[in-house]
Amino acid sequence: MRTQNGESVLARAVRIFEAFTPEESALTVSEISRRTGLHVATASRLVAELVSYGFLTRDADRRVRVGMRLWELATRASPSLSLRNAAMPFMEGVHDVVGHHVQLGVLDGDEALFLERLTAPGAVINYTRVAGRLPLHASSSGLVLLAHGPADLRERVLDGPLQRYTPDTPATAARLRAVLAEVRRQGYVYCPGYVHPDALGVAAPVRDASGDVVAALAVIVPNEAGASSVVPVVRTAARGVSRALGAPDAPRRRDPGDARDGSATAV
């Protein structure tokens, strides 16, 4: 069913869902109308119908939130569910050791999307959240996913622009290309101060039964001396998740970007 301007009702519903952000998870109908560009009467009608299906819900003050029904259906059908289930025992083990942040990220479009995160009171600053996103070139998970991702994705990201979060962010094509080659050579990434000067990320690839990299397991710890001690912990956990997904014990795979990036090492 389409409206007079040719936009489908489904497209309008999607615009309503996209109006919510992690920082603003409850909105009035007027705010939804303003953010979506829908007439307030149209927004009100669509919101009421989505509430009736449980996809949205209303608070006591009449503010609207995403409903549990939407989460239920998305989780039930999500292909990431088996990945998360396989990763959680290993993530919990890593978290017991590092005592800061442990997270699981996947590639979605040109960004790293985080499926899960474990944290602790007083942990170092971290911009990651569950269902949050970070750019591929700056985050430890993103760099692992980019290094093992499609060649056209790498070239697109390398073409920029590359946002510089700190002086240490790999924000030039030459620096990023070198970092990606190193990720493939050594099997992990070490990112001191790439997103925030006080935080350091370490991430390693998670592979599926075909040997393809399907996720990155990462920790975020204080950017200080001795942080490299978490590298073997992260790598061991990532290999454990990979084995749980049926990955070969010792995948040997030539990445299509190796020759271009100056590294001929199989990964």
114 close to 91: Cβ distance less than 8 angstroms? no
Whether 129 and 229 map to the same domain: the answer is: yes
Query: Which of these three, 22, 56, 73, is where a domain ends?
Result: 73
pLDDT category, 143, cuts 50, 70, 90? very high
Structure confidence by residue, pLDDT tens digits, 219-260: 999 999 999 999 999 999 999 999 999 998 754 444 444 444
* Gyration radius (Cα) of the chain, Å: 21
87 has pLDDT over 90: yes
Is 266 a domain residue?
Answer: no
Distance CA 165, CA 181 (A): 21
Q: What are phi and psi of 203, to 5 degrees?
A: -140, 150
DSSP 8-state symbol, 227: G
Q: Which two tokens stand for residue 222?
A: 């204080």
Whether 67 and 84 map to the same domain: the answer is: no
Is 59 a domain residue?
Answer: yes
* Burial readout 123-157 (b: 16 or more C-beta within 10 A, e: otherwise): bbebebeeeebbbbbbbbbbbbbbbbbeeebbeeb
User: What average pLDDT does the structure give for the chain?
Assistant: 89
Is 86 a domain residue?
Answer: yes
127 against 45, higher pLDDT: 45
Structure confidence by residue, pLDDT tens digits, 94-131: 999 999 999 999 999 999 999 999 998 889 988 888 77
Helix ranges restricted to H, the chain: 9-18, 29-36, 40-52, 68-77, 80-98, 140-147, 151-158, 173-186, 231-244, 258-261
Position 252 scores a pLDDT of: 47
130 close to 112: Cβ distance less than 8 angstroms? no
DSSP 8-state symbol, 212: -
Domain residue limits at 226: 78-261
Whether 96 and 147 map to the same domain: the answer is: yes
Whether 92 and 208 map to the same domain: the answer is: yes
